[in-house]
Structure 1
Amino acid sequence: MLKIGSHVSFSDKGLLSAAKEANTYGSNSFMIYTGAPQNTRRKPIDSMYLEEGNELMLKNGVEEIVVHAPYIVNLGSYKANTYELAISFLQEEIRRTHAIGVKNIVLHPGAYTDMDADYGIQRIADGLNDVLEGTNETDVNIALETMAGKGTEIGRTFEELARIIDKVKHNERLTICVDTCHIHDAGYDIVGDLDGVLEEFDRIIGLSRIGVIHLNDSKNPRGAGKDRHTPLGSGFIGFDTINRVVHHERLQGLPFILETPWIGKDVKTQRPMYEVEIALLRGNVAERFGIEFLSQVEELHSYFATQEMDPRVFVLDIWNLLKNDAKAKKADPREPLERLYDMVLEANLFPDLSEEGMNQRIIACLAGREIFTK
């Protein structure tokens, strides 16, 4: 069965809260941080409701979840205190991941800052050697994440990741987390040649080493090196490509994790589109949302046709406008999904729907008519 879920919070009642949240989206997998992703403060693992969380996961059919290391860990740093903190903290995160019962902890490899890529690769490999040799939890793998290529981060190419792996003694404990937005932004043509990209990955690293896949659309054209996520269908990758990734025969059995951003006009009431994104990828939208949902999506298609516009083309045009025309962005900084929402709201198509409900239907519309006729 397709393992698909989203990033969820890990607070209050720890794993129990995370499992409850994931279930509201229809997830049968999910990803957590064991504390705030921006710092190293952590509650004792025995206060994280692990038993109760695992019981609820079992009840909800969740077989595998993923942990993500905090963003502040930088094994590529030349600064001794930053580097040593990264090693000791990552060792503790591995112990916490083991206690939760998870086999993959996702890690951004690191950035070389004022040095160079060769230095960064060696520094990260040395750090991983120290981390792995200093932990006995051999059932926990470090999943090095493919990166978008911004700044001095390492992992923007398959070759960089392969060089790290080759330098690590216990590299059987290294897996890869493939992020669709990141590899697109790094220049890999998953839209036009997904099979070719997978073949290249297999030749350089090996598809068997993939442990996790992050699902994100991108606000930027291929090769931009920006790493800016957007909900599925509302970016330059598009729903069709993400759907092909999820159902690709060579990627079956892996956990697919959504990291798409929350959307909404009011920051206080913003919501993720995880529920509809998961249903679209599973192909059970009618079962999840009801037959009326499908008719409302068709009504959106008809409405946009009367406006002589293709909503997906509109979305990409607006991203390009916001990127390339500073005056236009200053005059109207609204992102594409907000503009589509405002159009539908003004047309008064669904006066009884909440903002979240309307956005869910817009996301389904951007997936295209074909997804509902297969």
Structure 2
Amino acid sequence: MSIAGKLGVAGAAEEAHLLGLSAIQIFAKSPRSWKTRSLKAGEVEGFRARKENLGGLPTVIHASYLVNLAAEGELWEKSVFSLADDLAKAQMLGIEYVVVHPGSGPAEKARIGALKARELAGLGRNGPWLLLENTAGGGEKLGANLHTLAELVEGTSLGVCFDTCHAFAAGYNLAEALEALEQTVGLQRVPVIHLNDSVGERGSQIDHHANLMEGKIGEELMDFVLDPRLKDKIFIMETPRGTLEDAHNLRILRGWLGLT
């Protein structure tokens, strides 16, 4: 959901209501800039009120695409600060989850960066849950291998966000990926699913999302969504936006769930 407009974050909750959604994801600032965004007067109260009126409306903040928690020097410092800013905003807004790509470089550096961002945001045990997202792979990008992702969060308060397009592009069959998640990370640490079809073929390492049933994953997605182990998870579609696209994707998903 977009936070553009005079209502800001509260406007995203308003749009969710109009679309009949039960969960949303937002960017708390531009995803392709280091510039932070201050919350406007009344924005926090407006969002919290709408969220409550919509039955809680579980919400996810997606961190900036520029963040690289495994980087060195100034880039690492900027990344940690940017992520800490998102976590602090989530805390103020009563948002439950913040999702971030681990980055490219040493796994231990990414793990330290994630934990440092939580510390800078001043989060306690009851603060928003920071989730590391699996990736499509390529180069030194972390998170394409689910075993590596499990090692990143092991022994920490961090969780995992699982993206279907990224897993497919990394070479996984979704049924096999779910088994791997359960055996390595543990599904109790995977509260959020990004439900996306893939423009690229399996194993292509192409991070390009498609509308449901219009990409290369197809029926595999439906079987994944209907797996009973995922019935309590929060599903977020990062599919192309637009009136027709939204209607198509919601119709497909609601049809799978028997809600139409």
Question: If the length of structure 2 is used for normalisation, what is the TM-score?
Answer: 0.90
Cα drift, residue 46 of structure 1: 4.5
Separation of aligned partners in 1, 2:230 and 2:32:
31
Within-5 A mapping of 1:188-207: 188-190=172-174, 194=175, 196-207=176-187
Q: Does 1:181 find its partner at 2:175?
A: no
Question: Is 1:208 the equivalent of 2:188?
Answer: yes
SS at match of 2:191: strand
Question: In structure 2, the residue corresponding to 1:277 is in which secondary structure?
Answer: helix
Residue 245 of structure 2 corresponds to 273
CA contact (8 A) 1:176 1:212 kept: yes
- Of 177-186 and 83-92, deviating more is 83-92
* Match status 1:131 vs 2:117: yes
The offset of 1:177, in angstroms, is 0.6
- Residue 285 of structure 1: CA displacement? 11
Give the partner amino acid of 2:139: G
- Check 1:233–1:41 CA distance in 2 against 1; reply closer, same or farther (3 A cut): same
Alignment equivalent of 2:200, drawn from 220, 234, 247: 220
Which residue type is aligned with residue 142 of structure 2? I
* Residue 18 (structure 1) shift: 0.6
Corresponding position: 1:144 with 2:132: yes
Q: Which runs of 5+ in 1 are unaligned?
A: 1-7, 113-119, 263-269, 289-374
Q: Structure 2: 5+ residue runs without aligned partners?
A: none
Q: Deviations over 1:95-152 (max 9, x none)?
A: 111111112100010112xxxxxxx212112212322333332321111001001332
The answer as to whether partners of 2:211 and 2:239 remain within 8 angstroms in 1 is: yes
Taking structure 1 as reference, are residues 284 and 52 closer, same or farther at Cα in structure 2, changes over 3 Å only?
Answer: farther
The offset of 1:36, in angstroms, is 0.9
The separation in 2 between residues aligned to 1:51 and 1:242, in whole angstroms, is 37
User: Aligned to 1:89, what secondary structure does the other structure show?
Assistant: helix
Contact 2:36–2:82, Cα closer than 8 Å, also in 1:
no
Q: After TM superposition, list the pairs within 5 Å mapping 1:288-307 onto structure 2.
A: none
CA drift of 1:284 comes to 9.1
- The Cα offsets for residues 315-350 of structure 1, whole Å up to 9 and x where unpaired, read as xxxxxxxxxxxxxxxxxxxxxxxxxxxxxxxxxxxx
2:88 aligned to which of 81, 90, 95: 95
Size of the aligned set, in residue pairs, is 257
Q: For residue 48 of structure 1, report the CA deviation from its aligned partner.
A: 6.2
TM-score (norm: length of structure 1): 0.64
Deviation at 1:287, TM superposition (A): 8.3
Matching residue of 2:230: 251
- Cα distance in 2 for residues equivalent to 1:57 and 1:276: 25
- Secondary structure of 1:66's match? strand
Residue 283 (structure 1) aligns with: 255
* Identity %, equivalent residues: 29
The structure having more radius of gyration, on CA atoms, is 1
Q: More displaced, 273-282 or 68-77? A: 273-282
Which whole-Å CA distance do the structure 2 matches of 1:287 and 1:217 have between them? 20
Contact preservation (8 Å) 1:261, 1:272 = no
Counterparts of 1:175 and 1:165, CA distance in 2: 6
Distance in 2 separating the partners of 1:243 and 1:108:
25
**For 1:234 and 1:283, how far apart are their aligned partners in 2?**
15
Task: Note if 1:16 corresponds to 2:2.
Answer: no
Tell me the CA shift for residue 62 of structure 1.
4.7
Partner SS state of residue 63, structure 1 = coil
Larger helix proportion of the pair: 1
Q: Which amino acid aligns with 1:52?
A: G
Q: How far has the Cα of 1:286 moved from its partner?
A: 11
CA distance in 2, matches of 1:224, 1:241: 17
Q: Which amino acid aligns with 2:62?
A: H
